[in-house]
Amino acid sequence: MRKLSRALAAVLSAGMLLSLAGCGGSSSSTASSASSAAPSSSAPAAADPASVSGSFEGTAPSYDRELTVTVTFDAGKITDLELGENHDTSAIISRAFPVIEERIIEANSPVVDSVSGATFTSFGVKAAVANAMAAAGLEAPEITYATNAGIEYEPTTLENAECDIVVIGGGPAGLSAAVVAKQTNPDLNVIVVEKLDILGGNGKLDMNFYDLYGSQAMEEAGIEYTVEDFVRDYADAGDTPERVQVWAEEEFTTDAWLRDMGTELNYTYGLGNHMVDADTYAGETIMDNMEKLAYELGVDIRTGTAGVDFVWDGDRVAGVSVQTNHNESYDILAKKTIVATGGFCNNKELLAEYAPGYEALTTSNMMGTTGDFVPVFEKNGMLLEHMDMVRAFPYILKTRRDLTSSGQAFVLVNGSGERFLDETTAAGLDLGTKILEQDASWMVIDSKGLETDGRLRKQTGLGYWLEADSIEALAEQMGVPADALQASIDTYNAAVDGAADPFGAQPDTTIDAGPFYAVQVQTADHMTKGGLGCNEFAQALYEDGSVVPDLYGAGEVTWQSGGYSQSVCFGKIAGRNAANAIAEEAAAE
C-alpha cells in the first residue's frame, strides 16, 4: 500500500510548508508552449560519473514561467534538491516538491512518475534536474510531459486493512472529518485515502471568500449575526430544516476551531466573507493547517490510493475497496465509512448526463473532481439530489484556474475589440456559452479596480495581466484594433452617464484611469451542487429516505446548498457523529 511520503509528512508535521512566490501559471506561461526540456549541452558528459560532486543549478519551464532547482551530487549520486525561484501555484508546489524530490533521489534520476495533481510542476522539477545534471557534466535524459518511471505495475492483491473509521477523500470535508473524529476520540484508528499524490482537494486552491459566521473578525467589525439569522436566511436554500439548524450551529463554532489550529481569518468583507488578510485568500492556509493537524493527531493518510467501491457486510457499508497508483488492490474494513470524494466538474460525461450544457465549459477545479462514486451511489439505490445544479464562476484567467474578479468596472471584448454582452448582468451558463462563441474574450479594466480588490492587485502584480499606460498601447499588446477597443470603452463609459447601452448595461463606474489592464478570461464550472443525499447527522440516505447503515457523507460529493465552509462543517459533523456512534455501540455491547 502507498502512504504519504516520509519527506512530505515531515514537512507538514514540522509546520514548514514552503513559502513560494506566485500563484500558478499565466497566459504567457512557457509551460503552455514547451513540450519538452532538453538538457543543457554546455558541459561535456563526464567520463566517470563517480567523480562528480557538488551542487549544480538547473532551470526549466514549469506551470508558470520557469523554476530553478539546485541539485547536490555526491560521487555522481543525487543526494539533495533545493527548490529555487519559481512562480508555480504555492498550494501545489509546496505539496508536490517533497514527493517528487523523494522519487528523484531514490531513483537517482529525474525519470520518475509525476505527482498526480501536479503534472506541470512535476515536469518543471524533473526538467530542471536534468539540466542540472547536464551542467554537472553528467549524461542527462530528455524530459517531456509524458516522462515517467516506465514501470508497468502488475495487478497485486494486498492484505486487507482494518480501522475504526475510513474517510474516502483528502479535501476539506475529508480532512475535517478525520481531524474531528480523532479530536472526539484520540484512540480511534482513522484512515484517509486520497487518489491523488497530494492532499487538499479544491480547498487548497480556493481563491474565493471563505464563508464563515459568528467569527472573531465579524465581532470586531461590529457585525451582528446569530444562529437564528443564519437559519432564517438559509431556510429556502434546499436543505431540510434539520440540516440547516445543525449547519448553522456548526458554522458558529468553526472560527474558534480554525484558530485553534493556527488559521486566523482576520479580514471580513460583507456578511460572512472571510480572508486571512485583505490580499490573502483562506483556502491554502486552511488546508495547510488542517493537514498538519491531521498528522499530529495520528491520522493514517494514504495518498495515491483511490476508493473504487464500498465493502458490504450484509446491509451495512463495512469499508472501501481501494486501488493504489502501483496497481495494488485491497479492502479497508471499517466500523464507519465517510465518503468525501468531491464533485464532478472534471467529468464531461456526468455533466452531460445530469447538467447538459455545462460539459462545454472548462473548470476551475483540480483534476480529482471526477465523480468517481456517483455510479456507486446509482447502482446501490442511494439518494441523489439536485444533480442538475452547477455553479459556474463568471471569470477565470484563461489557461489557468485562477478566479478573477468581476465587481470592478470592466468591458469584455472579443478579438476584434468589440463588446458582445451586458457585462453587468451576464452570468452562469449563458455567459459561458457567449464567451465560447467568440474568437477571444478579453477583460479590460483600469487602475481603479485595483484599489479595492486584493485579487486584482495580486494577479496584476504577478504579471498575469497585460498592462499599458494607454488604451492604444494596451490594444497593441492584445492584438486587437485600438479604435475598436477605444470605441467599446467609450460606449460603456457613456452608459455610466445615462446613455442607452446597445447591450442594456447600466454600469456605475467609468474605465478611464490608467494604467489599463487586460487578460483573456473564460467561464468555468466551479462547483457541482448536487450529490448524495444525507440527513442532519451526515448519514447517507437511500432513495426512499432510509439511512444507509454506517455510511456518512460530507462535502461536494453530497448535495450542498452552500460552499466551502459547508464542506468543512458537515465534515466535522460526520467525523464527530461517526466517532460517537462507535462509542455508543461499544457501550451497548
Residue 37: per-residue pLDDT: 47
Closest CA to 441 of 455, 450, 431: 431
Q: Which residues contact 186 (CB under 8 A, 6 or more apart)?
A: 297, 298
For residue 515, cis peptide bond before it (omega within 30 degrees of 0): yes
CA 50, distance to chain mean position in Å, is 42
Residue 44: per-residue pLDDT: 52
Residue 270: CA count within 13 A, CB half-sphere: 5
**β-bridge mates for residue 280, sequence order:** 277
Element (H, E) at 83: strand 77-83
Please give the model's pTM, rounded to 2 decimal places. 0.89
Angle between helical axes of 471-478 and 482-496 (0-180°, round to 10): 130
Instruction: For residue 404, give the C-alpha cell.
Output: 478573477
Closest CA to 539 of 115, 121, 254, 177: 177
Q: Which residues contact 135 (CB under 8 A, 6 or more apart)?
A: 40, 42, 43, 56, 57, 58
Alpha helices by DSSP H, listed for 405-505, are 428-436, 448-451, 454-461, 471-478, 482-496
**Dist. CA 465–CA 459, nearest whole Å:** 7
Residue 525: strand, helix, or coil: strand
Q: Which amino acid is at 220?
A: E
Q: How does pLDDT run along the chain (589 residues), one tens digit per residue?
A: 434 433 344 433 333 333 322 333 333 333 333 334 444 434 454 547 888 999 999 999 998 889 999 999 999 999 999 999 998 888 899 999 999 999 999 999 999 999 999 999 999 999 999 999 999 999 999 999 888 988 999 999 999 999 999 999 999 999 999 999 999 999 999 999 999 999 998 888 776 678 999 999 999 999 999 999 999 999 998 899 999 999 999 999 999 999 999 999 999 988 899 989 988 889 899 999 999 999 999 999 999 999 999 999 999 999 999 999 999 999 999 999 999 999 999 999 999 999 999 999 999 998 899 999 999 999 999 999 999 999 999 999 997 778 898 889 999 999 999 999 999 999 999 999 999 999 999 999 999 999 888 789 989 998 999 999 999 999 999 999 999 999 999 999 999 999 999 999 999 999 999 999 999 999 999 999 999 999 999 999 999 999 999 999 999 999 998 888 999 999 999 999 999 999 999 999 8
- Is the distance from CB of 418 to CB of 444 less than 8 angstroms? no
Buried b / exposed e over 231-266, threshold 16 CB at 10 Å, is: eeebeeebbeeebbbbbbebbbebbebbeeeebbbe
Instruction: For residue 569, give the C-alpha cell.
Output: 462543517
Instruction: For residue 64, give the C-alpha cell.
Output: 508558470
Query: Mind listing the domains of the chain with CATH numbers?
Result: 17-144 (3.90.1010), 157-389+529-588 (3.50.50.60), 393-525 (3.90.700.10)
Residue 469: CA count within 13 A, CB half-sphere: 0
Residue 406: CA count within 13 A, CB half-sphere: 22
DSSP E strands, 201-246: 210-211
Q: Which amino acid is at 324?
A: T
- Is the distance from CB of 570 to CB of 554 less than 8 angstroms? yes
- Is the distance from CB of 228 to CB of 252 less than 8 angstroms? no
Residue 6: per-residue pLDDT: 34
Residue 562: per-residue pLDDT: 86
**Dist. CA 217–CA 198, nearest whole Å:** 31
**Dist. CA 280–CA 277, nearest whole Å:** 5
